[in-house]
A and B are shown apart, each in its own frame.
Chain A
Amino acid sequence: MTTGIALQIGQTLLALVLAPMLMGWVNVCRAWLQGRVAPPLLQPYYNLRKLFHKDAVLAHDATRLFRFAPYIIFACMVLAAGIVPTLANDLPFSPAADVIALVGLFALARVFQALAALDIGTAFGSLGARREMLIAFLAEPALLMVFFTASLISQSTELPHIVDRLAHQEFALYPSLAFAAVAFWMVSTAENARIPVDNPTTHLELTMIHEAMVLEYSARHLAMIEWAVALKLFTYSTLGIALFLPWGIAPAGDLNALPLALLALALKLAIGGAALALLETVNAKMRLFRAPEFLGTAFLLAVLGMLTHFLLEV
């Protein structure tokens, strides 16, 4: 039990520490692909430190909701990072939430973000909140279908069981999972405010979604949000790994497999981050009202995956 708790805390801290680096890695890769001089890999950490040192500037009318939202969003992401099996399987927090509850946790963070954006009453804040909630309600059904397809094989929505079934019991490739994985990729670009649904580097009023919501934040509040965004990308990546590429995650209670698990994780994240940068380089951001089509495609792919499971794998 104590090893379990130690592992749990270790894994969560690792996610906390590694998340900005994943963000930095994506930025480095993107700069290379676009022929620019890359920023240092550790740039996100420098940014965080700078932000923590600054004085927070709050609008005159900002309420407590606005001030507390960054901490709540951050806490939600930390819990999510603790639940997804990243290094070791079957940790003490895992039974606290299955994948559906995990979606609920992300939704909680999102609603607080949107409410905080509405709090000061700027035009951009409400624009961002509206668009964010729009993307969210389009993405969630597709995400559920992905989870459903992934959980059909193990007959469980518990991540440890899904991982256990795929990684530790029998080696098999499932065509249904291929469909689901593509759908998951599409949904996670939307959920993480990445191209082609949103552009994390823009401040153009016509296109921004997530950035419009955090315009009024500064200093430590902004740092919490930036860190939470990085954690969310990290958690989504590890979630994708757990669902579709779980090989390498240490089985429950097996401490000797941890170094290998760490190596596997680093490798998968490096490749995944590079792939994300590549896709962000070759794609353009699409118009907001194309998002329903994009996420509808993701939904249909996930349904196809499910039907494939019923037709080929049962």
Chain B
Amino acid sequence: MPETTLLDWAWAVVLYWLGLAAASLALQTQAGLTRWVVFPLGILGAAAMAVLGALALASPPTQFILPIGLPELPFHLRLDALSGFFLILLGVASSGVGIYAIGYFRHMAAGPLAVLSLWYHLFLAGMALVLLADDAYAFMVAWELMALASYFLVTTDHKIPDIRRAGFLYLLIAHVGAVALLLAFGVLHGSDPARMAAYSFDAMRENTLNPAWASVTFLLALFGFGAKAGLVPLHVWLPEAHPAAPSPVSALMSGVMLKTAIYGLLRVSLDLIGAPPAWWGTVALSLGLVTALYGVIFAAVQSDMKRLLAWSSIENIGFIIAAFGLTLIFHADGKGALAALTLTALLYHALNHALFKSLLFVGTGSVLHATGERRMGRLGGLIRFMPWTAWLMLLGALAIAGLPPLNGFVSEWLLLQAFLLTPGLTQPYLNMAIPVAAAVVVLAAALAAYVMVKFYGVIFLGQPRDPELNEAHEAGWPERLSMLGLAAGCVVLGLVPSQMIGWLNPVVEALLQQTLPNDGNWLMVAPLSAQRASYAPLVFLAVVSAITLLVFFGVKYVYHGRVRRAAPWDCGYPELDARMQDSAEGFGQPIRLIFSAFMRVERITPDPFDRQPQYRGDSRDKVWLWLYQPIAAAAAWLSAQASRLQHGRIQWYLIYSFATLIFLLVFVTR
């Protein structure tokens, strides 16, 4: 009897989730049982998955062959450090979101809730299988399971036409991407393509492709995984699908599912193909930077809170892909330590994004529940009615804006260090171009702060823009608990970067055969060498909070703490109205002016004498106009041409069959 490995346990958790999915079908009339038994059991599984992933970081890779699958290609599973890291990400984020889901779906009827619970747990199982799969077939099956389950989750409210449309767009792009992945695996087989076993990842690892085919594989993989991750110009589904889905689902899709694409990209390019040339990195870096900038500019002009977060996810994915590009460049150039630095920044940011984006998405869910409103122009002042949600969301907003001492800053700081250390690359053009590219990263990061001030300020601060908001209620305790946990994660990851880098080292070593030297200590992170750069978030936090409290009580003690309440002054203007605050559109106006080249703005502005003024402003994505509409038009035209063949008369169809038969016979007998 062989020993039970970590992989066996991980597989058991996947089976357990599949079992829960089946069980929720059996509980179609018992909403309470689904919420209070099935979801909590699912969270236990997620927590177990996180623990297994953490254990896998320190253990040697384990493999496992299942007796199901194709005749010659049974399912291969493998758990190594890379899968382990992403399993931690999956487990941590889905535990947090799962707790939230218990509270969030309290008003849902038993029938739809059972269906939702079915797809939810299938989705979790699919994502875990993607991370565990060790052959092309198992990977694609898991990938499809994940895509389909998430499609059905997105279309939970399928009675609304816009949501069906969003779901279709998502499904379409997911499958265009899946086709590219299928082709990528088709090129990337082992040395003996006649045998199915050549499609196991082990065979792919052993086989070395010639450079041209390797590049084809890389580009196909970048396309396929880019479609899932939301790389510009394949990002169009994200701002549609994320707002359409229920908030916990948006949180999982944005926080975790996008990261499976990053996992796939790392797995294929660094593990399966191996030895990437530098130009792959340049391609990925440029695409990543474009994506980051594009995403954040559009995030700044959104007026729907969930759509804003979806664009912000695009920005963060761009950031991760840029880090990936730098990793490839440094790896190809033999700069192992720098490659380790960027890969660490990449993994760190992936985990950070999973935490703060989940937090922000579930927070918008609470706002949506409390107010029934997604348009930021109708919200405002919620910090007074929902203090828990508001203060926890503040942590998430500060973290995603990349401010110290929270977690978003750490990964950004690590990546900027890598940018600044480029001199010394063998290609002189990269030496000069990459530091300038760093400016794009900073621009995107600074814009992210703009976006978050807008997001937080318009929703939670100021005066309620609608009198009905005064009845907004605080989220229930499961929601608060979930947000508390996710926010605590953001704080902890921000405060202990040295330990985190230590934990990430096995992953980095597995991919690059090199770890990141950390010259710091438990207090301070200093990648490469303390001479170059160091950062001590705990000192930051301690000093800033100590001075804040010291000054607060000092001023009170030395002078006084008297406070008088009065009406706001506002430069002496007497009639203050909630509608005089910046709306979401107003806050985005400078961005719209400065970056007008990126978007098409449609505006309807009222006449000054209009008694009932109507204002509408819409900033459209030009990629949609230039790329997707022509493709859609071409597809429509082609189908119109094809429909000419259809007359509805059986004689014609018989002639078609006959002609086809003749054609095939000519080819076969040749």
Minimum CB distance partner of A126 in chain B: B582
Tell me, yes or no, whether A184 is within 8 Å of chain B by CB: no
For this complex, into which size category does the number of interface residues on chain A fall?
Answer: 35 or more
Q: Is the interface of A mostly helix, strand, loop or mixed?
A: helix
Known: A55-B564, A79-B544, A140-B446. A63 touches B536 (CB 8 A): no
The A1-42 residues at the B interface (CB cut-off 8 A) are none
**Cβ of A156 and Cβ of B413 under 8 Å apart?**
no
Q: Which of B532, B552, B580 makes the CB contact (< 8 A) with A155?
A: B532
CB distance from B442 to the nearest CB of A (A): 5
Q: Bound state CA distance, A60 and B570, in angstroms? A: 13
Tell me, yes or no, whether A278 is within 8 Å of chain B by CB: no
The B432-471 residues at the A interface (CB cut-off 8 A) are 432, 435-436, 438-440, 442-443, 445-447, 449-450, 452-454, 456-458, 461-463
Tell me, yes or no, whether A260 is within 8 Å of chain B by CB: no
The A73-127 residues at the B interface (CB cut-off 8 A) are 74-76, 78-79, 82, 93, 95-98, 100-101, 104-105, 107-108, 110-111, 114-115, 118-127
Interface stretch, picked from B25-33, B181-189, B507-515, B555-563, is: B555-563
The B571-625 residues at the A interface (CB cut-off 8 A) are 571, 573, 576, 578, 580-582, 586-587, 589-591, 593-594
Tell me, yes or no, whether A178 is within 8 Å of chain B by CB: no
Q: Bound state CA distance, A111 and B402, in angstroms? A: 11
**Cβ of A220 and Cβ of B555 under 8 Å apart?**
yes
Interface stretch, picked from B147-155, B212-220, B269-277, B378-386, is: B378-386
Tell me, yes or no, whether A141 is within 8 Å of chain B by CB: yes
Q: Which residues of B contact A126 (CB under 8 A)?
A: 457, 462, 581-582, 586-587
Q: Which residues of B contact A114 (CB under 8 A)?
A: 453, 457
1/0 per residue, CB under 8 A from B, across A160-180: the answer is: 010000000000000000000
**Cβ of B594 and Cβ of A292 under 8 Å apart?**
yes
Tell me, yes or no, whether B15 is within 8 Å of chain A by CB: no
CB distance from B586 to the nearest CB of A (A): 7
**Cβ of B536 and Cβ of A97 under 8 Å apart?**
yes
Interface stretch, picked from A144-152, A233-241, A249-257, is: A144-152
Known: A58-B566, A307-B432. A74 touches B532 (CB 8 A): no
Tell me, yes or no, whether B502 is within 8 Å of chain A by CB: no
Known: A118-B457, A126-B582, A133-B453. A95 touches B534 (CB 8 A): yes
Q: Bound state CA distance, A118 and B380, in angstroms? A: 10
**Cβ of A74 and Cβ of B547 under 8 Å apart?**
yes
Q: Which of B450, B531, B551 makes the CB contact (< 8 A) with A75?
A: B551
Q: Bound state CA distance, A127 and B462, in angstroms? A: 12
**Cβ of A57 and Cβ of B461 under 8 Å apart?**
no
CB distance from A152 to the nearest CB of B (A): 7
Known: A58-B565, A74-B551. A140 touches B443 (CB 8 A): yes
CB distance from B238 to the nearest CB of A (A): 23
Q: Bound state CA distance, A203 and B572, in angstroms? A: 12
Tell me, yes or no, whether A134 is within 8 Å of chain B by CB: yes
Q: Which of A78, A215, A306 makes the CB contact (< 8 A) with B570?
A: A215
CB distance from A205 to the nearest CB of B (A): 7
Known: A129-B453, A136-B446. A120 touches B544 (CB 8 A): no
Chain B residues engaging chain A, CB cutoff 8 angstroms? 380-381, 383-384, 394, 398, 401-404, 409, 413, 416-417, 420, 423, 431-432, 435-436, 438-440, 442-443, 445-447, 449-450, 452-454, 456-458, 461-463, 524, 526, 530-536, 539-540, 543-548, 551-552, 555, 558-560, 562-571, 573, 576, 578, 580-582, 586-587, 589-591, 593-594
18 A-B pairs with C-beta separation under 8 A = A52-B555, A52-B558, A59-B565, A59-B569, A78-B543, A97-B534, A100-B417, A115-B453, A119-B383, A123-B570, A133-B454, A134-B591, A140-B443, A142-B439, A144-B438, A157-B532, A215-B570, A289-B593
